[in-house]
A and B are shown apart, each in its own frame.
Chain A
Amino acid sequence: MSLHFYGIRHHGPGSARSLSLALARNVPDCVLVEGPPDAAAVLPLLGDAQMDFPVALLLYVPDDPKRATYFPFAAYSPETVAIRFALERGIPVRFMDLPMAHVLARRESKPVSVENPPSEPVPEATVPSPRADPLGWLAQAAGYEDSERWWEDLVEHRRDESGIFEAVGEAMTALRAEMDSQSPLESEKALEEEQREAWMRGAVRAAQKEGFGNIAVVCGAWHVPALQGGLSKSDSPKEDAATLKNLPRTKVAATWVPWTNNRLSFASGYGAGIESPGWYEHLWRCRADNPEEIAPRWMARVAGLLRAQDLDASPAHLIEAVRLAQTLAALRGRAIAGLEELTEATRSVLGFGDDAVLNLIERDLVVGEKMGAVPDASPTIPLQNDLAGEQKRLRFPPESAQKVFDFDLRKPNDLDRSRLLHRLQILDIPWGALERNRSGKGTFHELWRVQWAPELAIPVIQAGIWGNTVAAAATAKASDRAAKSSELPALSALLDATLLADLPRAIELVMRRVENVAATSTDAAHLMDALPPLARIHRYGDVRGTKIEAVAPILEGIGARLWINLPLACAAQNDDAAREFLPRFQAVASALSLWQNEGATAGWQGALKNIAARDSMPGLLAGRATRILLDAEALGADEVATTLSFALSSAIDPTRAASWIEGFLGQSGLLLLHDERLWRAIDNWVCGLSPEAFTPILPLLRRTWSQFAPAERREMGEMVRRPREAAPLRSAGAAPDFDVERAQSVLPVLAQLLGIEMSDSRAAQGVI
């Protein structure tokens, strides 16, 4: 009877290759793989032709999907290789680790972890202990800064496969002996490790009892000594049984979910993650064909990527880059050029010393954006269950017929439904579409067109990589999008979406991104777009439970930048671009009334005064700035009349004057009806225009006037018909001309209607 231990490195293409060669040389009749036995039912799906890596094995507690663990598998994971090897040949293959039924039963309900294997420790910010990163310490001992590189040089770049697994086993035996004596684990972790290894030994013994003659055990290198040593001792079965007594248990379900290269990488916080999934995939694919081609093929892919971005990358460049990489490797005493050398050569030869190109390569090649796919036969995932649960709770069943819902957001059930639909939109699950612009309804109404389609099951499964509940998944996805986006408008839109979807954690993160991006944004339009949603949060944040202290400084920062940049930006606009600015002016003005910050209001009005006072500004914006100042009572009626007549002076180009009026009046002429002086100024200006000047600006004026209400236009018409001299001079604030006594007689009734107490003296004066 023979037993072979293969100590591997998770997601190491080199150890995967060594493993497949070793298995082919010595074909086992049973394969045991480190992994949760609870997933036995879905294990055969790994051999399915529809399985497209990377994927992850998901184990979760059906009643509480927050308790869950992901085990990512890449095409080049040694586990994948071993399992597929066995499945193809019909050799029995089993997971042998401690069942997640026990592990998850112990774990409190907390955010999902990604593990492989469960004990593979998450690296801490400080220097990890040798146990957390055993290979890292061996690498340090060998004089390498980085354990990836050490393993690559020592094992994965080796051409000769024999003896690797024995050597790894020996090194680990030495390391573990040292570790156990020098820094014993804290009891809880030690117990878990002890239990896991005891279970694995039990699984090996069980396989031996069943009569398999040649068993291959595939597990993380760290565990090899414990398994080998434990199995050779005669009293260990009893000890193991004692270790595994009275373990808690819970119900666990297993399925496969698609995974992404990005989430395989260290950067995503995955403990056993690797820095360069894309590079490993490249290594894995090249190894199979021709190892000599690793560097040239990589550089060819780099060149393809650069050319797609319209950057120069000639074959001559590639030759030089490969040569430099090889010389660098030689200088550093390495067998062949690795990713490090290739990256440096790329920077020097193709990037002209600049990192910009490298970022592109890092994202698209070194990590890669690839997303896996799982066979149709995979069981449903927790997100699907959670969505079904939500639909049931809100009495909101998925129906294939299209329906229109009018939600009243003051009702809790409707509010929750709206939030659910908003969250699904963030997850790109278009179950409902929001109908915009229904006038006549208050802000507490939302109109949704809702229709479920069977194809929506696919986005739901894809969204499963983000989390196990709709809320968690939407938070994760929104945070990810925030991290990747560097456009202020996109971030503001995302901020709005997260607000509507009520995702407090995502809101915080998106806000921080908005702050950072706003700091470098020179585009005043973007700053103006970012301000209103933030002002809304500042004002209404309490209702939604967002921390408003976090908003105030961001808002102030954006404000300060905007006041400084706005006049510059406005001066640079032509008339068409200026027209796009108008709604922004309005939005910022109303945002400021929400914000109610004196400093900000002063800054804003300062910027507006600057705009209003400068002749070089587009008339539209100067007019609007004057109007906003007038409305905010920052300019008196007299000053405005002066500004207006100045803007309409004969020295000013009539076209600019016309657009000034358009900006000033906006969509209502009511102001003109109330302030005779403004009316006179415009009247005089129009009358004073020469015929040549009048004709071209007529359409401009007509466009302004056509937006006024018919009643306003009629009244203006009557004012024009009146003889100019005869008309009394009216202006805002002039004494009203009416019979005070008669007016007073209605006051008591009015007061009663309004529910106001009225003192006699005030009543006598006609003051309410």
Chain B
Amino acid sequence: MTPTQTPNAALRQHAEIQFADELERLQKHDDRQKPPQWKLSPWAVATYILGGTLPDGSEISAKYIGSRRIIEIAVATLATDRALLLLGVPGTAKSWVSEHLSAAISGDSTMLVQGTAGTSEESVRYGWNYALLLSKGPSREALVASPLMRAMAQGQIARVEELTRIPADVQDSLITILSEKTLPIPELGDEVQAVKGFNVIATANNRDKGVNELSSALKRRFNTVILPTPATIEEEIAIVQKRVGELGRALEIPAEAPAVEEIRRLVTVFRELRDGKTLDGKTKLKSPSGTLSVAEAISVTASGLSLAAHFGDGTLRVGDLASGLLGAVIKDPVQDAAVWREYLETVAKERDGWKDLYRACRDQE
């Protein structure tokens, strides 16, 4: 597919540009002590992330809705010289928090290494401009610095996304950077020493540990903060509703926005199975092997919406959700199926107003 029109503006702005005004106002009112090279004091960084009111009465919007102490630990970690590892299931705003932290601390969120199975050592350390290398031999000009190397030289925050997807041998090249704070360049007999203010924020999905689990040597160099799933059902419903609305518009699905009640039931199922207990806390449940994250709730709703639009009457019905729901819950065909049946029989069957959901789910089996 080729794009039919070229966008004349970036689809998405960097955080430091989008919220430049807020950062500027915070800076003006920030009279607390700043760690070297930091644009804001730790207190102001926390306020930027969590939102608040400045002395002149102007508002700072909340970038992250959740526990204050999580952000405090994250900021305090970056103020020491330890690196920060943000863990969480998909859809818990890890990258979002990481981007905003680096925007607030360094004023630049672009020192980014995206971790993939194919991430090579060059993208973590440095590469070469081969034309220059061949014509002039090894020199600083022929060196292509990685974002990490640039962050070290400039004393800024570097970000590593999806750390656990990076192959183990490439992960290991981070160890020297994190403990010695230098990056040796043996080809030139030189090194890059990190300037004060340099630090690393890494994010990783704590459900797929299996891909490339962190070695304990690397783990030890991070302070770990787990970003939790939304604390209340209302928060989660709001997130799902907002994202589904955005997705629906982006994908141009010709269906009505789903009713809050359907989303509430879906989110209830997700939360109950994820937490291993009913919402009223009276009954314990088994949890399936899948993550059942907010992101999955969003995708189940979106696919239900698409089903309703193209094969149904345009309104999201429980039957449209059931197939997606089944797929989201049952990842392991034996164990998860038992868990799911147990849930249907012991919880869904008895609940008032859930008869249709129960029937729709049983029909799917």
**Taking beta carbons and an 8 Å cutoff, which residues of A are in contact with B?**
312, 314, 316-317, 320, 323-324, 327-328, 330-332, 344-345, 348-349, 351-354, 515-517, 519-520, 522, 557, 560-561, 564-565, 568
Instruction: State whether A519 touches B283 (Cβ < 8 A).
Output: yes
Complex contacts, A354 vs chain B, CB 8 Å = 224, 226
Instruction: State whether A344 touches B69 (Cβ < 8 A).
Output: yes
Instruction: State whether B345 touches A352 (Cβ < 8 A).
Output: no
The closest CB in chain B to the CB of A567 belongs to B338
Q: What's the nearest-Cβ distance from chain A to residue B226, in Å?
A: 4
Complex contacts, A560 vs chain B, CB 8 Å = 342, 345-346
CA distance A327 to B72 in the complex (A): 10
CA distance A564 to B87 in the complex (A): 35
Given contacts A324-B80, A327-B76, A328-B72, are A316 and B220 in contact (CB under 8 A)?
A: yes
CA distance A317 to B345 in the complex (A): 47
User: B341's contact among A328, A557, A564, by CB below 8 Å, is which?
Assistant: A564
Given contacts A327-B80, A561-B342, are A348 and B220 in contact (CB under 8 A)?
A: no
CA distance A330 to B43 in the complex (A): 10
Instruction: State whether A353 touches B286 (Cβ < 8 A).
Output: no
Closest 4 CB pairs between A and B?
A519-B284, A353-B224, A353-B226, A327-B76
Give B208-241 as 1s and 0s: 1 = Cβ < 8 Å from A's Cβ atoms: 0000000010011001111000000000000000
A-B contact pairs, 5 of them (CB 8 A): A324-B80, A327-B80, A344-B73, A353-B226, A564-B342
Given contacts A331-B43, A354-B226, are A519 and B286 in contact (CB under 8 A)?
A: yes
CA distance A332 to B346 in the complex (A): 46
User: A352's contact among B80, B219, B284, B342, by CB below 8 Å, is which?
Assistant: B219
Name the interface residues of B36-62: CB closer than 8 Å to any CB of A.
42-43, 46
Give the most central of B85, B223, B284, B341: most A CB within 10 Å. Answer: B223
Report the count of interface residues on B (CB-CB < 8 A): 33
Name the interface residues of B66-95: CB closer than 8 Å to any CB of A.
69, 72-73, 75-77, 79-80, 82, 85, 87
**Taking beta carbons and an 8 Å cutoff, which residues of B are in contact with A?**
42-43, 46, 69, 72-73, 75-77, 79-80, 82, 85, 87, 206, 216, 219-220, 223-226, 276, 283-286, 334, 338, 341-342, 345-346
CA distance A564 to B341 in the complex (A): 8
The closest CB in chain B to the CB of A603 belongs to B345
Q: What's the nearest-Cβ distance from chain A to residue B80, in Å?
A: 5
The closest CB in chain A to the CB of B77 belongs to A324
User: B72's contact among A331, A349, A522, by CB below 8 Å, is which?
Assistant: A331
The closest CB in chain B to the CB of A351 belongs to B224
Complex contacts, A515 vs chain B, CB 8 Å = 283-284
Q: How many A-B residue pairs have CB under 8 A?
A: 82
Given contacts A320-B82, A353-B224, are A522 and B42 in contact (CB under 8 A)?
A: no
User: A348's contact among B42, B224, B286, B346, by CB below 8 Å, is which?
Assistant: B224
CA distance A330 to B223 in the complex (A): 17
User: A522's contact among B46, B76, B79, B286, by CB below 8 Å, is which?
Assistant: B286
Given contacts A344-B69, A348-B225, A519-B285, are A327 and B342 in contact (CB under 8 A)?
A: no
The closest CB in chain B to the CB of A333 belongs to B43
Given contacts A516-B284, A565-B338, A568-B338, are A324 and B220 in contact (CB under 8 A)?
A: no
Instruction: State whether A328 touches B226 (Cβ < 8 A).
Output: no
Instruction: State whether A349 touches B223 (Cβ < 8 A).
Output: yes
CA distance A724 to B317 in the complex (A): 68
Q: What's the nearest-Cβ distance from chain B to residue A443, in Å?
A: 33
Instruction: State whether B79 touches A327 (Cβ < 8 A).
Output: yes
CA distance A515 to B285 in the complex (A): 10
Instruction: State whether B72 touches A557 (Cβ < 8 A).
Output: no
Complex contacts, B76 vs chain A, CB 8 Å = 324, 327-328, 330-331
CA distance A348 to B222 in the complex (A): 9
Q: What's the nearest-Cβ distance from chain A to residue B81, in Å?
A: 9
Q: What's the nearest-Cβ distance from chain A to residue B204, in Å?
A: 10
Complex contacts, B69 vs chain A, CB 8 Å = 344
Complex contacts, B283 vs chain A, CB 8 Å = 515, 519, 557
CA distance A351 to B341 in the complex (A): 34
User: A331's contact among B42, B224, B225, B341, by CB below 8 Å, is which?
Assistant: B42
Instruction: State whether B342 touches A324 (Cβ < 8 A).
Output: no
CA distance A323 to B80 in the complex (A): 8
CA distance A345 to B346 in the complex (A): 40
Complex contacts, B220 vs chain A, CB 8 Å = 312, 314, 316-317
Q: What's the nearest-Cβ distance from chain A to residue B333, in Å?
A: 12
Instruction: State whether B286 touches A331 (Cβ < 8 A).
Output: no
Q: What's the nearest-Cβ distance from chain B to residue A145, in Å?
A: 11
Instruction: State whether B223 touches A324 (Cβ < 8 A).
Output: yes
Complex contacts, B80 vs chain A, CB 8 Å = 320, 323-324, 327
Instruction: State whether A557 touches B346 (Cβ < 8 A).
Output: yes
Given contacts A353-B87, A560-B345, are A348 and B223 in contact (CB under 8 A)?
A: yes
Q: What's the nearest-Cβ distance from chain B to residue A545, in Å?
A: 24
CA distance A324 to B46 in the complex (A): 16
Q: What's the nearest-Cβ distance from chain B to residue A522, in Å?
A: 7
The closest CB in chain A to the CB of B79 belongs to A327
Given contacts A320-B223, A323-B80, A348-B224, are A331 and B75 in contact (CB under 8 A)?
A: yes
Give the most central of A344, A516, A522: most B CB within 10 Å. Answer: A344
